[in-house]
């Protein structure tokens, strides 16, 4: 009789080590492709403005080609990593808790596709074993107001996922804002939220296992990904299924018409409000300010030059501009690669000519009526996954958590909204 394989020992209540700290980057990346990590969750749910579910899928199946890395993002990542030890030390000093280094990449003991690379583990001063985890973030000072309200959606989802993998009952999130403001939130484990996250993300992982890519969505992240994946060959033709294409073209035309009608209606409302204001800057109703009409919008060089040509000439200076005509003539492939993300003209039997363009126009405005919307699930989860942590200020000006409400309104709303999505993913 063959003995059953031994269950690996857990280093947290529910987590086992997949890779130890400090392994080679290639080995670490390979391990990440064996499951879904905390930094993937927001993207899988359609709540990451930079990464789409399709990109996560292609990465997991090994079909995502290399993309140019942003120097700005690389610089931010560098400083985030460099600040981690300092933030962990200050967190320990201000809270009195003991902080230990993370054990590497963890997997859930029963669901090995659930992965987590926690920054630190946290223990009570007199305790031998850690009882929670610490997630560390470095963010711009411009995000201070958002962090004062609670843990923003992306880091909150990542933290809840880490609680799901590790089995801990709570976590701490320490964020350094602007390099000089540390805010700490405590996030309590929410079994209902975790259950739905596991179900939804599990359905995504099943797609990876089955090699069934998620549907293309309307996010800007997906548009950028498609532009990177498909370098259009001039003159090439794809024969498509009319049952798929024609409804999309009809939908596109409907949305364009709706956009034009909405723009006209909005312009009418603006004009009527302006007529009511007349020369006034502030309009009051029943003693309260109803709206203001301040002339502080963007300056229009074109209208100014037409109205005041002499004065415009005095304040006109030569500027270096890119010679796009010459670039297109001498380097057509390079020029084409940086044109609008997608451009195609299509004629349907009853649809007439439809020109679909995405990417900015010459004046910087979007050229398509198909707005980049997040999937419905993103709208459901937005803001609702935050912890109910309250932030207090110590006499020295530091911020720290003073506890969390056992059941927050936000968490309850998240649970109600996630249930239909979880049921749909299970079908």
Higher pLDDT, 56 or 384: 56
Architecture of domain 15-219+376-426 in CATH?
A: Alpha-Beta Complex (3.90)
Does residue 380 carry a pLDDT above 70? no
CB under 8 Å to 120, separation ≥6 — which residues?
88, 99, 100, 101, 102, 133, 134, 136
Residue 298 backbone phi and psi in degrees, to 5: -60, 140
- Tokens standing for residue 278: 């007349």
Q: Give the pLDDT confidence of 111-142 residue by residue, as tens digits.
A: 999 999 999 999 999 888 999 999 999 999 99
Handedness of CA 313, 316, 320, 326 (dihedral sign): negative
Over residues 278-289, the mean pLDDT reads: 92
**Structural domain boundaries of the chain?**
15-219+376-426, 231-295+324-372
Q: Where are the alpha helices (DSSP H) in 96-169?
A: 144-149, 153-166
Q: Give the pLDDT confidence of 318-360 residue by residue, as tens digits.
A: 888 888 889 889 988 788 777 764 444 444 444 334 333 334 3
Structural contact between residues 162 and 126, judged by C-beta atoms closer than 8 angstroms: no
**CA–CA gap between residue 227 and residue 229 (Å, rounded):** 6
**CA–CA gap between residue 346 and residue 109 (Å, rounded):** 52
Over residues 266-279, the mean pLDDT reads: 92
Question: Given this model, what pLDDT does residue 388 score?
Answer: 34
Report strand pairing: 105-108 vs 115-117.
antiparallel
Question: Given this model, what pLDDT does residue 350 score?
Answer: 40
Q: What are the start-end ranges of the E strands in 189-314?
A: 282-285, 288-292
pTM, full prediction: 0.68
Which among 24, 49, 22, 48 has a CA at the least distance from the CA of 36?
48
Question: Given this model, what pLDDT does residue 3 score?
Answer: 52
Question: Given this model, what pLDDT does residue 264 score?
Answer: 92
**CA–CA gap between residue 374 and residue 44 (Å, rounded):** 12
Over residues 238-251, the mean pLDDT reads: 91
**CA–CA gap between residue 91 and residue 9 (Å, rounded):** 29
Over residues 192-220, the mean pLDDT reads: 94
3-state secondary structure at position 204: helix
The pLDDT confidence band at residue 65, using thresholds 50, 70 and 90, is confident
CB under 8 Å to 398, separation ≥6 — which residues?
94, 182
Q: Where are the alpha helices (DSSP H) in 96-152?
A: 144-149
**CA–CA gap between residue 382 and residue 348 (Å, rounded):** 38
How much of the chain is in helix, strand and coil states, percent to nearest 5?
Answer: 45, 20, 35
Does residue 382 carry a pLDDT above 50? no
Question: Given this model, what pLDDT does residue 300 score?
Answer: 87
Question: Given this model, what pLDDT does residue 221 score?
Answer: 84
Over residues 399-410, the mean pLDDT reads: 35
Does residue 306 carry a pLDDT above 80? yes
């Amino acid at each position: 009789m063959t003995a059953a394989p031994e269950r690996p020992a857990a280093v947290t209540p529910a987590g086992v080590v997949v890779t130890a700290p400090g392994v080679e980057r290639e080995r670490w990346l390979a391990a990440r492709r064996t499951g879904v990590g905390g930094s993937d969750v927001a993207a899988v749910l359609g709540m990451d403005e930079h990464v789409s579910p399709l990109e996560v899928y292609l990465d997991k199946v090994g079909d995502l080609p290399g993309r140019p890395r942003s120097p700005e993002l690389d610089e931010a990542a560098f400083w985030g990593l460099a600040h981690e030890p300092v933030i962990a030390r200050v967190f320990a000093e201000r809270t009195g808790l003991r902080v230990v280094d993370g054990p590497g990449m963890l997997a859930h003991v029963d669901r090995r596709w659930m992965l987590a690379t926690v920054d630190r583990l946290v223990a009570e001063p007199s305790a031998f074993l850690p009882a929670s985890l610490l997630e560390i973030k470095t963010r711009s000072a411009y995000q201070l107001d958002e962090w004062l309200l609670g843990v923003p959606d992306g880091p909150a989802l990542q933290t809840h996922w880490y609680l799901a993998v590790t089995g801990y009952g709570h976590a701490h999130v320490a964020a350094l804002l602007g390099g000089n403001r540390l805010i700490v939130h405590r996030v309590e484990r929410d079994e209902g939220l975790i259950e739905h996250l596991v179900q939804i993300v599990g359905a995504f992982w099943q797609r990876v296992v089955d090699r069934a890519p998620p549907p293309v969505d309307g996010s800007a992240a997906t548009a950028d990904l498609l532009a990177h994946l498909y370098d259009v060959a001039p003159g090439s033709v794809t024969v498509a299924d009319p049952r798929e294409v024609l409804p999309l073209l009809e939908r596109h035309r409907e949305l364009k018409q709706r956009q034009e009608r909405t723009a006209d209606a909005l312009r009418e409302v603006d004009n009527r409000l302006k007529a009511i204001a007349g020369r006034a800057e502030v309009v009051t109703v029943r003693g309260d300010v109803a709206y203001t009409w301040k002339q502080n919008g963007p300056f229009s060089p074109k209208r100014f030059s037409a109205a005041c040509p002499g004065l415009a000439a005095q304040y006109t200076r030569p500027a270096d501009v890119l010679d796009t005509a010459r670039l297109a003539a001498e380097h057509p492939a390079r020029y084409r690669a940086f044109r609008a993300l997608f451009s195609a003209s299509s004629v349907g039997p009853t649809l007439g000519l439809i020109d679909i363009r995405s990417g900015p126009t010459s004046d910087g405005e979007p050229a398509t009526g198909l707005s980049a919307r997040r999937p419905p699930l993103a709208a459901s989860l937005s803001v609702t996954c935050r912890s109910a942590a309250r932030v207090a200020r110590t006499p020295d000006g530091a911020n720290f958590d003073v506890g969390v409400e056992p059941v927050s309104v936000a968490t309850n709303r998240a649970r109600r909204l996630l249930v239909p999505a979880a049921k749909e993913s299970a079908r």
